[in-house]
Amino acid sequence: RAETRRVGRSRVCGRCWRSVRYLSSPPCGRVRASQATEAEAEAVEESEGFDFSRSQGRSFLPLAKVVDQEAIKTALLLGAVDTEVGGVAISGRRGTCKSVMARGLHDLIPPIEVVEGSWTNADPSKPEEWEEDLVERVEAEGGVSAVKTSVRKAPFIQVPLGITEDRLVGTVDMEKSIETGKTVFQPGLLAEAHRGILYVDEINLLDEGIANLLLSVLSDGVNVVEREGISISHPCRPLLIATYNPEEGPIRQHLLDRIAMTLSSDVPLTLEDRVDVVEIATRFADFSADVIKETDEETEQARTQVILAREYLKEVQIGEKQVKYLVDEAVRGQVQGQRAELFAIRVAKAHCALNGRDRVEEEDLRKAVQLAIIPRATVLDNQPPQEEQPPPPPQLAI
């Protein structure tokens, strides 16, 4: 099998770094976006949500340029391998690189093939999931065998804090309905995010009803819209990435319980790291294209690793004793409910696939405990010493 490598540790950190947006730069790479353009872009994001995959010339710090956040980078890569793993939540104070890492992952998501004319990024290989009007159009044009497809960048949709339920799940397009004389559905952000990334910044400040609805739809994998005159359902399986600052308000625990991996970006930095932050932040402000180019090889390697891992994931096996080990760890941590074990199994299998294997091993189980079980544990101080803890079961016997 092809050799796989992790995203390497680069001497740059985003602790005090927020992403800086620019217009397409000429060769010198020094032209900054005007304040008017920046304000306009921010206004669109706040009012309607924003699809970063369609942005023109907006640069974001590559994920490989972030250090001292290895656990979070690993969690994001696992989410890229298995978008149904359950999502990633990142907590941290201001300027700790939360949004930078979320947006940096987008470059590692492989392009997707979609059926042309689909408003849910329909997968050509899964006609049973196509929206009803797409099925009717395809049949009228010659059937599935004649369907036209295109390859595009996976969507990256940001959910604004003030979003309404209609904008999130979809509603009736009144203008087109009046023009056509029949009910026309207007897709929401959930339809646009399917097969991509759905990003929620400051999820702790999101309306409680909207947050519950969002996580409920993502858990089911299907968005059902019931409005006067319409009843529509469509698949909705994006990777959820949520960030929040605990200093700005507490997050409801039942929301965190429904997200697979919850990690903190508040990590101590050495003097050397802080100097590197200043240096790279300054360079990225003036020469963003050069900084991005420096990580092209690492980014391409990570993207290839994700593509291969998605194939390995289809064949990954986990043994009964290994599942029992994860359950025992959840019980030892007095984790409430059973979501921890269920998420941990998917995390272990995704980690196994990311490392180019098809059988879960000890390393995968330990990583699953670290990312999915320990953050939910209510008791951590009565654990036996490391040397007394039973080791994870070995890989599944052939």
Strand partners, 187: 170
Rounded Cα distance between 368 and 362, Å, is 10
Name every residue whose Cβ is closer than 8 Å to that of residue 119 and which is 6 or more positions away in sequence.
131, 187, 191, 192
Task: Calculate the CA 262 to chain-centre distance.
Answer: 12
Residue 185's φ and ψ, nearest 5 degrees, are: -90, 135
CA dist 394 and 341 (Å) reads: 18
- Pick from 43, 104, 42, 84: which is nearest to 243 by CA? 104
C-alpha 386/C-alpha 372 separation (Å) is 19
Question: Helix, strand or coil for residue 179?
Answer: helix
Angle at 302 between CA 313 and CA 4, to 5 degrees: 65
Known catalytic membership, residue 366: no
Q: In the structure encoding, which two tokens stand for residue 248, read together?
A: 């700005």
- Which residue type is seen at 396? L
Rg (alpha carbons) of the chain, rounded to whole number: 22
**Can you tell me the distance from the alpha carbon of 197 to that of 104, in angstroms, rounded to the nearest whole number?**
11
| Token digits of residue 348 | 């272990």
Cα–Cα distance for residue pair 171/287, rounded to 1 Å: 43
Tokens encoding 344 = 């941990």
Q: Encode burial over 323-358: b for 16+ CB neighbours within 10 A, e otherwise.
A: bebbbebbebbebeeebbbebbbbbbbbbbbbbebb
Other beta carbons within 10 Å of 187: 20
Token pair for 315: 């064949």
Q: Which of 195, 237, 258, 339 is catalytic?
A: 339
Q: Which helix (H) or strand (E) holds 124?
A: none
Would you name the residues annotated as active-site residues?
339
